[in-house]
Structure 1
Amino acid sequence: MSTSKTSEGASAPQDIEKYGIPEPEPFVSFQALKDRIRHHYEVASDYYYSLWGEHIHHGYWITPNDTKEKAQVQLIELLLQRSEFKAGSKVLDVGCGIGGTSRFLAKNYGCAVTGVTISGRQVELAKKLTLEASKEEQAPANGIMKLGDGSVQFIELDAEKMGEYFIAGEKAEKFDCVWISEAMSHFPNKPLFFENAAKLLKPGGKLMVADWFKNAGLSEVEFKADISPIEDGMLLPPLCTQSDYVEMAEKSGFKIFAEPLDISKEVAKTWDLSWKLIQSPALWAFAVSQGRDGLAFFQSFRAMRRGYANGSFRYAVMVFQM
């Protein structure tokens, strides 16, 4: 198939170029947005896994020769280092996706990890991949699967309800760490998340965050060009700045353990690779079959690359402590 050049310099099949970037579509309500997010992960998680592997998050490139798999693990290890993470911790992995980080912490650090995600399909995939890694034929009746010296379990749960789920009744339990990587940006009520995380942590427990942000002080033109297409395509409520997260954490009783570390430059390659990975007519046909949200999602990859290049879109890790 002949190819043409995109505005970002990557080559793409001509039939991809015919799909324009849809105008941003405001969400009717936060519940409607959550329903769209759930649907997105129900239908797209298998594609994520086939393209990106078990770690569905950014990579952190220390050297240009790092593979994407190594870069993804390096992002996890960076947050572990900055939090002075202790092996054997009891961890709540919020927005766990298909369980890559949960399995990594259980296998390599002997942690007891509970992963929660809004998507039932992601829970299915997470359990399947964990059973394959543990070489067991089926999950125990209690859903807790041994992996190395640790264990993992996965629960379908709206993160906004995690406070009542883990605090109330027989399920009452607390954690040494709450881990959240690239999920909080999806949450309409971020202050509620910080409040729930504070309730679920033991004294001295840590909240470990990796996420994407808008840069502070953007002009209206910069916001419309770079951030608006990302919010729209990635199904995000209004993006926050890094200082917004710090303010919300402190209002919920957290203290800063490790200041926000901006690693935008080191993770930007994620979207260069992602743009190359989706240059398949079959994938774009899938996007079109999902209607406007599917097409807006793929086209938002361009805005991601442009936002990182312009400095309007940022990425940071940060750690808070109770």
Structure 2
Amino acid sequence: MATAVETHPGDKHEIPEYEAHESSTSLKERIKKHYEIASDYYYSLWGQHIHHGYFKSPTETKEEAQVNLIKYLLGISSLPQGANVLDVGCGIGGTSRYLAKEHACSITGITISGRQVEIAKKLTQAETSPDSTTRNPTDEVNSYSSGGNCRFLELDAEKMLEHFSADGKPAARFDAVWISEALSHFPDKPLFFRSASELLVPGKSSRLVIADWFKAPQLSPEQEKEDIQPIEDGMLLPPLCTADDYVQMAEKAGLVVRQSPIDISSDVAKTWDISWGLVSSPSLWMFAISQGRDGLAFLQAFRAMRRGYANGTFRYAIMCFEKP
């Protein structure tokens, strides 16, 4: 007797043709709209950490693996306890809360999405003031018993230097700038590196900590088209860089390498196997389709990321810099 083969709802829907971004402004508008709509969905499926997991053993849950990634970044950066940290592209604040609670850091989290700020504040208030009678929804800073604290701002990261400056000089200097899986969204990456460099305190204690998605170097046009473009399209990314591109941009901005890129693709790829299983509801695909081509392209990008990791064309790396 033949065994029925289970199919994934994604197999029934087309992969949209690649659509180039009209401009950096329109791309950022699409990114903001995406996170305004999808952030609650992210939280329901991924939990508070909206980033890859670093799997050290086959039995680890995605939540354990996500914390592993934060710990790995702490390890390569030797981030001092109690550091004043700017968490760029903070999402719903999972990493910010971890660094405040477990590392006594003072965190300023910024995201382009107002909805993400709302969720981040709500989750942080619930964690720091579980008694609803002491919770104030207007509080800008929420503190932990460890001494750490968090605040969250709606801010386009490409305007962060302007926001944290006064009279043309940076008014707020940070011990560290932390950015996890957000820089790949930015149209003007050299601007980010220059801004981060300006906002960091000088000296051996300064840190720029990065985890991000990359393409492999020296890909053929066919590999770019088949493996990379569907990821760029669905995940609303400008053209992906290589890890070495980031090093060159950081050094041009006056930063020095503390930890050169470490490729951990094979350790994080399971994230998208799990994610593909999490988006197996037909109703979810119908909702994505109702949001237009970007919704369908986003879910189909999960398939593309799995293929890119399997083919070695899509990469994940972590790295750290400091300001002399």
TM > 0.5: yes
1:136 is displaced (CA, Å) by: 5.3
1:282 is displaced (CA, Å) by: 1.7
1:63 aligns with 2:57: yes
What TM-score, normalized to structure 1?
A: 0.95
Deviations 1:38-80 (A, max 9, x none): 0000000000000000000000001111111110000000010
What is aligned with 2:143?
146
What TM-score, normalized to structure 2?
A: 0.94
1:130 is displaced (CA, Å) by: 0.4
What is aligned with 2:165?
167
What is aligned with 1:186?
185
- Structure 1 residue identity aligned to 2:164: F
Percent identical across equivalent pairs? Answer: 60
1:139 is displaced (CA, Å) by: 3.8
Question: Equivalents in 2 of 1:128, 1:87: separation in Å?
Answer: 25
1:109 aligns with 2:106: no
1:147 is displaced (CA, Å) by: 2.2
What is aligned with 1:12?
8
Q: Which structure 2 residues correspond to residues 1-322 of structure 1 after superposition, within 5 A?
A: 4=5, 11-13=7-9, 16-134=10-128, 135=130, 137=132, 138-139=135-136, 141=138, 143-148=140-145, 149-168=147-166, 172-204=171-203, 205-322=206-323
Question: Equivalents in 2 of 1:253, 1:136: separation in Å?
Answer: 46
Contact 1:185–1:212 under 8 Å retained in 2: yes
Contact 1:160–1:193 under 8 Å retained in 2: yes
The 4+ residue runs of structure 1 with deviation greater than 4 A are 2-5
- What are structure 2's unaligned runs of at least 5 residues? none
- Structure 1 residue identity aligned to 2:90: C
Question: Equivalents in 2 of 1:211, 1:3: separation in Å?
Answer: 39
1:167 is displaced (CA, Å) by: 1.6
Sort the Cα spacing of 1:37 and 1:189 in 2 relative to 1 into closer, same or farther, 3 A.
same
- Structure 2 residue identity aligned to 1:143: E
1:18 is displaced (CA, Å) by: 2.3
1:218 is displaced (CA, Å) by: 0.3
Question: Equivalents in 2 of 1:28, 1:242: separation in Å?
Answer: 25
1:283 is displaced (CA, Å) by: 1.0
- Structure 1 residue identity aligned to 2:187: P
2:289 is paired with a residue whose SS is: helix
- Structure 2 residue identity aligned to 1:151: N
1:142 is displaced (CA, Å) by: 5.4
- Structure 1 residue identity aligned to 2:142: M
1:168 is displaced (CA, Å) by: 2.2
1:22 is paired with a residue whose SS is: coil
Contact 2:112–2:156 under 8 Å retained in 1: yes
Sort the Cα spacing of 1:217 and 1:171 in 2 relative to 1 into closer, same or farther, 3 A.
closer
Contact 1:59–1:74 under 8 Å retained in 2: yes
Question: Equivalents in 2 of 1:162, 1:140: separation in Å?
Answer: 25
2:86 is paired with a residue whose SS is: strand
1:109 is displaced (CA, Å) by: 0.8
Question: Equivalents in 2 of 1:3, 1:313: separation in Å?
Answer: 33
Contact 1:103–1:147 under 8 Å retained in 2: no
- What are structure 1's unaligned runs of at least 5 residues? 6-10
Contact 2:161–2:170 under 8 Å retained in 1: no
Contact 1:3–1:12 under 8 Å retained in 2: no
Question: Equivalents in 1 of 2:43, 2:53: separation in Å?
Answer: 15
Contact 2:170–2:199 under 8 Å retained in 1: no
1:59 is paired with a residue whose SS is: coil
Contact 1:79–1:317 under 8 Å retained in 2: yes
2:273 is paired with a residue whose SS is: helix
Question: Equivalents in 2 of 1:295, 1:198: separation in Å?
Answer: 37
Deviations 1:205-245 (A, max 9, x none): 11000000000000011111100000000000000000000
